[in-house]
With several copies, the nearest count.
Chain A
């Protein structure tokens, strides 16, 4: 059930020039949230920023009762968030959205291909953790602008996930974008279910690729949100055949065929 939580900040750590990881003590939420779901964070009690900030659940430890958020400092809210210190707390609403659809446990021949562009890595660690728990063979393809922006690869490797990287400037891994990286990987005849998150242009290119290869894919989308609760109707994405879906309640995860990017 969606609830409002005052979550104590356990850690708020800078991982890269503009990327931070926030660890929150919020047991009741940690026990029910699923990969791909998100929370709405009220960063301050002032009117600047005014709206809440939607952030995916990056990681979750149900036993410890904690969740982690991974965020990029882009504007007022995310910068304000990066100034908060352990001891303080933030109010969050969640769990929100549908989350990824996971394959049945131990199903034969299930390969998962996680595709992340930039901060799109955020929801994929929690997803990887659950896939690995279901014994799904999981691989991460991860693209960022430079080597410094590639964060948290260790955590994936510790789960036993194979990681391949690329950067726009070639400072680590392949020089190029993550769709090229996936295309290269698929050339060897490999296949799998794609789980992707990243900027819309990347997802658009990825949509072409998975269609041409006949792969199933789920995309975690972003849209500018006011409520996150299905009430404001602000967060729309076009759907095939006309009309819109709501990213906060129908998504944020969509089957690639469900949306017009």
Chain B
């Protein structure tokens, strides 16, 4: 039997395959246990975690849009303590490659979070400086090169774990933000987070989301995500993780061809809970069909 090597190394984080599940779209993994072996995934990026528990935004929090959806969850999460006590032991005993998505309101909060998360069973940290659904911090960090540099370099001083910086697409020049994160010591970059959007009910003349605006995800945003991943992969030396509208193995392959060393499956998990597993199989099948033995042959193979 011909086998293919799907392993990738993301800034020190060794993955058995390049398929991760995106933060906020796969819970803590546990919710999807009945659909497949969590341990067969490249890894699980858990819901954005904050120092204190957060209740999140008022409803309505999600709405379907053309080939996508808006969400304004607002980082609802039980806080880092609860995560460490309740979820981490389960994930560790299941052997899941666990990446924690961190959200904070200030550099100090991010640093404290990072320190609290230096725990066995946590494979890497993903720095969420791009959440459009919270007032303070969140996206603001991700849209300024100066702030990106500051938060990344500070967090690096408080963490030995591989640090993935998750970028916001709501910027004029994502390549420059990416370079700022790289210069400040990021081990890898993940992109894109959601595009800021809005939905309105013309009958009631009110916004549909309780928070008025929310983050757009799903196949609708794939062309934007693909373009940004391609731009960023050319602009930096560190590995890039592609995110945005990945529903099928074909979508995932496009990101890898554009330079992504790994990908994250987001809204697809809601539509097809076995999507991530199907994508792993589809990537392996594609490599075989194309006579490749190693996923690394495909990364950045786009011919212009």
Contact = CB atoms under 8 A, between A and B. Distances in A.
A232 B63 contact: no
Contacts of A186: none
B58 to A, nearest CB: 8
Interface residues of A, number: 31
Contact of B76 (A1, A47, A52, A233): A233
B207 interface: no
Nearest to A244: B55
Given A226-B71, A229-B32, A232-B25, A51 B271 contact: yes
Interface string A135-157: 00000000000000000000000
B73 A50 contact: no
A234 B267 CA distance: 12
Contact of B69 (A2, A226, A230, A243): A226
A30 B99 CA distance: 37
A27 interface: no
Contact of B73 (A3, A93, A228, A234): A234
A231 B62 contact: no
Interface residues of B, number: 36
A51 B27 contact: no
A50 B31 contact: no
Interface residues of B: mostly helix, strand, loop or mixed? loop
B214 to A, nearest CB: 10
A244 B56 contact: yes
Nearest to B73: A233
A225 B32 contact: no
A52 B269 CA distance: 11
28 contacts: A3-B35, A42-B272, A47-B219, A50-B66, A50-B69, A51-B64, A51-B271, A224-B59, A224-B60, A226-B69, A226-B71, A226-B267, A227-B25, A227-B273, A230-B31, A231-B25, A231-B32, A231-B270, A232-B71, A232-B73, A232-B270, A233-B24, A233-B73, A234-B73, A235-B61, A236-B76, A238-B59, A243-B55
